A and B are shown apart, each in its own frame.
Chain A
Amino acid sequence: MSVSQISVFVESRPGHMARVLEAFQRASVNVRGYSASDTGDYGIVRFIVDDPDKALEVLKDMGAAAVKTEVLCALLPDTPGELARIMAIMARCGINVEYSYSLISTFIAISVKDLDAAQRALEGESIELIDQNDLVDFDRTPTKEKE
């Protein structure tokens, strides 16, 4: 169980990320979470979206350098100590978290080399993992219900 993440190469200059986001907006791609980091010269922006294939297609059409990779996505109860608990499990199992970032609500995305091993470790500790479909379903928010 994992979700797809779209990573994009961007130059560290004003407007580059906005351009990507505007293209997503035009294609009605909904961003569920993101992380932007840079080296000073260039950066990698990572997105978790409702429709990763469409997002990748949008980026390829723009001529951007982008790839799709898999990450784990866990839902944490919104109480103190939960983030500490998940990281402690990973540490105990000797799994290196390469990077991690939070999404909407209290989802966090975690990148590791061996997804299956990390998944087994977390599920054994009753941590709820979600998949791509859960991100789509998450659209059923109170705002939408009003329509």
Chain B
Amino acid sequence: MADMTVKGAALEAAAHGRFDELPIHNPSIECASRERIEAIQLARLIDQVEWAYDRVAWYRERMDAAGVSPSDIKTLADIRKLPFTDKQALRETFPYGMFAVPLDEVVELHASSGTTGKPIVVGYDKGDMDLWADCIMRLVQMAGVVPSDRVQMAFGYGMFTGGFGLHYGLQRLGCMMIPAGSGNTERQIQMIQDYGSTVLVSTPSYALHVCEVGEKMGIDWAKSTLRVGLFGGEPCTPALKAEIERRMHIVCTDNYGLTEVMGPGVSGECLAERDMQHIAEDHFVWEVVDPETGEPVAEGEMGELVLTPLGKHAIPVLRYRTHDLTRVVTERCACGRTTARMQKVRSRSDDMLIIRGTNVFPSQVEDVLSGIDGVTPHYRIVVDNETGLDRMTVHVELKPEAFSDSFEQMDAFRRAIEEKLKGVLLVSSKVKLVEPGGIERSTGKTKHVQDLRKM
């Protein structure tokens, strides 16, 4: 938060480390002892498993086949007896196969975009909507939002969970909602000025766009009413967030969630430790497992996040494989909360490449490159096996100032990058230097990997 104008008492307190002055939505849960949190989780888990078994044929069949009944759940660790749920299960049962309540009790429907095959449809009854709003109210207050805030929603509404999910929770908190929707940047900026918006909800890349367009229009962001950015919809790198904070004079956080288990609100970033997000543990049981074996990893180790929402009635989901890789810690946070914290998701298990038997994540390559002067963070990984062995080539973009007239120096530079990559990836790769701007930029989700291997 350095180098920027901090606006509002809550952010002022956070900037000076006075986290006890920040509101905590539900301290009886968010600051509870580990024993109490786990006792609540166990009681709700038992109910949730019964609910799924009694009302959803898909779960009943799978639990019967696995020889497990709801009465087998006596401790939190017993969750491991249950089968996993994956995205495929939700696709196969499209549209209503996983619903556990009559459709006339369902008050809202959302869907995830179906880029491949059918979309995944999720429903919520009144209780589910309350639960969702509770999650949102927690995370936005962690981020410094207060009931008097005026929130400009620059997410698209529609079937996507991000727009309405945050809208309902923020409104329930008492915020004035400004449902701008997505796009029309100059109008968005006009609305910020006309209505005195204090919070912008958007993707981080759109926030940067708003910032740049505003700068061109002559807006002095330091003097703007805007003070908080709530981001979602795409991963936000620390560098991007820092740039938006510095240029727009707002404090930015992002949250984690996925349509299959609810939407935004599973966990959120507090202002004390910016790389970690507090999980709403009374609403979700989390597990971290080895993505290959499905077995739990030790606490604090990296693995795939598995989530079981609790108290969710319209669609109960047991042990959902998120494919998101993270680590979870349970120590008390400097913000005062005791709920478990997950590290921000940087990579997914299905992004993982196996190169000559070694697991490689594109985010590791990004981390190495961001620590090297003379290259940009843009890269592409090309994998082939033309010679019979897996061969990984990392295309790295040279910064103009790193160029010298000598092949000897350029080659030494290239080899130094190869060495650094090998130190982290534990597998050798070839670095191919490309000219500045030589790697295609994309506005949406960037495709970093090209796998040309033939089986």
In the complex, which of the residues A65, A67, A69 contacts B399, with contact meaning CB atoms closer than 8 Å?
Answer: A65
| Residues 57-68 of chain A, each 1 if its beta carbon lies under 8 Å from chain B, else 0 | 000100111110
The DSSP consensus for interface residues of chain A is strand
Contacting pair B435 A11 (CB below 8 A)? yes
Interface residue stretch chosen among B53-61, B243-251, B401-409: B401-409
Contacting pair B403 A9 (CB below 8 A)? yes
Contacting pair A7 B405 (CB below 8 A)? yes
Residue B371, interface by CB 8 Å: no
Contacting pair B435 A65 (CB below 8 A)? yes
In the complex, which of the residues A5, A10, A64 contacts B400, with contact meaning CB atoms closer than 8 Å?
Answer: A64
Q: How many residues of A contact B (CB 8 A)?
A: 21
User: How many interface residues does chain B have, given as a range?
Assistant: 10 to 19
Contacting pair A64 B438 (CB below 8 A)? no
Contacting pair B405 A46 (CB below 8 A)? yes
Cβ of A41: which chain B residues have Cβ within 8 Å of it?
432-433
What is the bound-complex CA distance between A111 and B436, given in angstroms?
A: 26
B308 to chain A, nearest CB (A): 49
Cβ of A44: which chain B residues have Cβ within 8 Å of it?
405, 407, 410
Residue A39, interface by CB 8 Å: yes
Cβ of A101: which chain B residues have Cβ within 8 Å of it?
none
A70 to chain B, nearest CB (A): 10
Cβ of A10: which chain B residues have Cβ within 8 Å of it?
435
What is the bound-complex CA distance between A16 and B432, given in angstroms?
A: 16
For A44, A64, A65, A67, which residue has the most chain B Cβ atoms within 10 angstroms? Answer: A65
Residue of A nearest to B398 (CB): A65
Cβ of B399: which chain A residues have Cβ within 8 Å of it?
65
Residue A42, interface by CB 8 Å: yes
Contacting pair B438 A67 (CB below 8 A)? no
Contacting pair B435 A69 (CB below 8 A)? no
What is the bound-complex CA distance between A60 and B405, given in angstroms?
A: 15
Cβ of A64: which chain B residues have Cβ within 8 Å of it?
400, 435-436
What is the bound-complex CA distance between A98 and B405, given in angstroms?
A: 11
Contacting pair A63 B434 (CB below 8 A)? no
Contacting pair B405 A65 (CB below 8 A)? no
Contacting pair B398 A9 (CB below 8 A)? yes
Contacting pair B433 A42 (CB below 8 A)? yes
Residue B147, interface by CB 8 Å: no
For window 409-455 of B, CB contacts with A under 8 Å fall at 410-411, 432-438
Residue of A nearest to B401 (CB): A65
Cβ of B404: which chain A residues have Cβ within 8 Å of it?
67
What is the bound-complex CA distance between A63 and B397, given in angstroms?
A: 12
What is the bound-complex CA distance between A46 and B407, given in angstroms?
A: 12
Residue of A nearest to B430 (CB): A41
8 A-B pairs with least C-beta separation: A65-B403, A7-B405, A65-B400, A69-B405, A9-B403, A41-B432, A63-B436, A63-B437
What is the bound-complex CA distance between A41 and B430, given in angstroms?
A: 11
| Residues 1-17 of chain A, each 1 if its beta carbon lies under 8 Å from chain B, else 0 | 00001010111000010
Known: A63-B400, A65-B400. A39 touches B436 (CB 8 A): no
Cβ of A9: which chain B residues have Cβ within 8 Å of it?
398, 403, 410, 433, 435
Known: A39-B411, A41-B433, A42-B433. A11 touches B438 (CB 8 A): yes
What is the bound-complex CA distance between A16 and B438, given in angstroms?
A: 11
What is the bound-complex CA distance between A71 and B296, given in angstroms?
A: 64
Cβ of A65: which chain B residues have Cβ within 8 Å of it?
398-400, 402-403, 435-436
Known: A41-B433, A42-B433, A60-B400. A67 touches B405 (CB 8 A): yes
